[in-house]
Amino acid sequence: MNFSIVIDNIPLLLDGLWVTLHLISLSLVLGFMLALPLALIRHFKVPVANQLIWGFTYFFRSTPLILQIYLIYYGTGQFSWIRDSWMWVILEKAYLCGLIAFTLNTAAYTTEIFRNALDTMRKNEIEAAIAFGMSTWKAYTRIVIPNSLRRSIPPYSNEVIFLLHSSSIASAITITELTGAARYLYSKYYDPFTPFLAVSLVYLVIVFLLTYIFKLLERRFLSYLSINHESTKKLGDFGNP
Amino acid sequence: MEKFLEYLPLVLSGTWITISVSVLSLFIAVVLGLLGAFGKLWGNPATKRICTIYTTLIRGVPDLLLILLIFYGGQIGINYITEFFEIDYINISPFISGVLTIGFIYGAYMVETFRGAILAIEQGQLEAGHSFGMTNLTLFRRITFPLMVKHAIASFMNNWLVLIKSTALISIVGLEDVVRKSNMAGQITKQPFTFLLTAAMIYIVITSLSLWVIRSLEKKYQVIE
């Protein structure tokens, strides 16, 4: 271990951290915005669109992310009609290709998380909403969607950490994010331990922070589902004589 | 099309590497997973702590970073050993280091899979076994293990699906797997999209076959209730 490698290159590593953070935050926001309508279409089984979205999520969930990044960055160059169009301005930039791949990837996983939450919504809550005279639209916007989003927090937190880990793959198409910065330092000093271990520590800290934030969110939004909650305690007493 | 057929065998030979790396690392992951789960549940405090550190650290760091660390760091470590014992230089291959790394990473995930599965077993089942006068070993062999397998299937197969996709990352340190081969074929023929899409299709076939196996296994183990 040679700590001077890390200290001498703090600006490079901070730049890498910055790229990692805004790459994943942007793709999470965009992926979330894509996933919600797609999950609703899947939930309502809209003909044709449902099958198309199923194909999209199946493709992105069953192939490795690195292949998806290569397909968008290297693959699209095969077609002259793409190279001659406005799209090439976007697709020749590594960062934007990475952003597209991460967004589509996380959208695919998130769509299925939300769809699962929507499909497993308890029937009596919808019945209660309808009994109150709510229209389907009102019942969904006020009850079903907010409740499903709450119940999606635990699997979604896994997806966020998964995406953080996946962002290291961006270094394969020359994006100098955190892992990319470590790989550059390795090639410069021929020391694998210091840069890779230092960067691992940074990832660990981010993962712990994210886990902590999601724990707080769960406590705030899911406490009504936990067994220890006041409102469910009495029920539990009756359930276990 | 001619070029596609000419380079298809190259991509298929990469597929074989992908499958063998996946299966071999799955084997290592299962062994480490079982050891870790037993250690976490029944070990002494020191063993428990080591197992917890293992699962927490490995699951917190990106797979790619661990691959880079073990591949490049492992080579330097081996160089020290060969120099010390004055034996010939040994070149660590991406295949071996890839299998070891992926096995080591997914071992951490398997620990949680098996631990959760053992914890999900009803106490009554074990008590019933005890009252039949079973020894601890018989109890494990006849009751704990089969029930653990039943509870572990879903999470185990999920780990397997993530594991196959993770092996694609070893192509970055030079493993000649389906991703690297299709990328090479794409560059030579100037048809990167065709070949990368072929590789993607191969992954879809492997995943779909795995999903089919999961469904039939789940049906089979549903009988034990």
Q: What is the pLDDT of residues B10-41, one digit of tens each?
A: 889 999 999 999 999 999 999 999 999 999 98
Q: What is the pLDDT of residue B88?
A: 78
Q: Is A197 in the B-facing interface, judged by CB distances under 8 Å? A: yes
Q: Tell me whether residue A239 is in a domain.
A: no
Backbone dihedral angles phi then psi of residue B163, each to the nearest 5 degrees: -60, -45
Tell how far CA B145 is from the center of its chain. 20
Which position has the higher pLDDT, A82 or A17?
A17
Q: What is the mean pLDDT of residues A174-183?
A: 92
Question: Model confidence at A233, in pLDDT bands (50, 70, 90)?
Answer: very low
Burial bucket for residue A157 (CB in 10 Å: 0-12, 13-18, 19+): middle
Q: What is the pLDDT of residue A149?
A: 92
Q: What is the pLDDT of residue B135?
A: 86
Q: Tell me whether residue A138 is in a domain.
A: yes
Q: Does A45 score more than 70 pLDDT?
A: yes
Q: Tell me whether residue A233 is in a domain.
A: no
B211-216: long-range contacts (C-beta < 8 A, 24 or more apart)? Answer: B211/B161, B213/B157, B214/B153, B214/B154, B214/B157
Distance from the Cα of A137 to chain B's closest Cα (Å) equals: 35
Q: What is the mean pLDDT of residues B163-169?
A: 94
Q: Tell me the residue length of chain B.
A: 225
Q: Is B183 in the A-facing interface, judged by CB distances under 8 Å? A: yes
Q: Sort out which chain A residues have CB atoms less than 8 A from B179's CB and list them.
A: 64, 66-67, 70
Distance from the Cα of B35 to chain A's closest Cα (Å) equals: 24
Burial bucket for residue A66 (CB in 10 Å: 0-12, 13-18, 19+): buried
Burial bucket for residue B26 (CB in 10 Å: 0-12, 13-18, 19+): buried
Number of domains chain A is built from: 1
- Domain at B2-221: CATH architecture: Orthogonal Bundle (1.10)
Tell how far CA B86 is from the center of its chain. 34
Q: Tell me whether residue A149 is in a domain.
A: yes
Tokens of A172: 């394969």
Domain of A99, CATH number, reads: 1.10.3720.10
Contact criterion met (CB < 8 Å) for A193 and B73: yes
Distance from the Cα of A77 to chain B's closest Cα (Å) equals: 8
Residues 6+ apart with CB under 8 A from A13: A6, A178, A181, A182, A198, A199, A202
Tokens of A96: 């934007």
Residues spanned by the domain of A219: 3-228
Residues 6+ apart with CB under 8 A from B125: B143, B147
Q: Does A232 score more than 50 pLDDT?
A: no
Q: Sort out which chain B residues have CB atoms less than 8 A from A171's CB and list them.
A: 64
Q: Does B89 score more than 60 pLDDT?
A: yes
Question: Model confidence at A89, in pLDDT bands (50, 70, 90)?
Answer: confident
Q: Sort out which chain A residues have CB atoms less than 8 A from B112's CB and list them.
A: none
What percentage of residues in chain B have a pLDDT greater than 90?
A: 48
* pLDDT per position as a tens digit, A147-166: 999 999 989 999 999 999 99
* pLDDT per position as a tens digit, A118-145: 999 888 888 888 899 999 899 999 989 9
Q: What is the pLDDT of residue A124?
A: 86
Query: What ipTM score was computed for the predicted complex, to two decimals?
Result: 0.88
Tokens of B37: 């789960």
* pLDDT per position as a tens digit, B101-144: 999 999 999 999 999 999 988 888 888 888 888 888 888 888 88
Which amino acid is present at B53? I
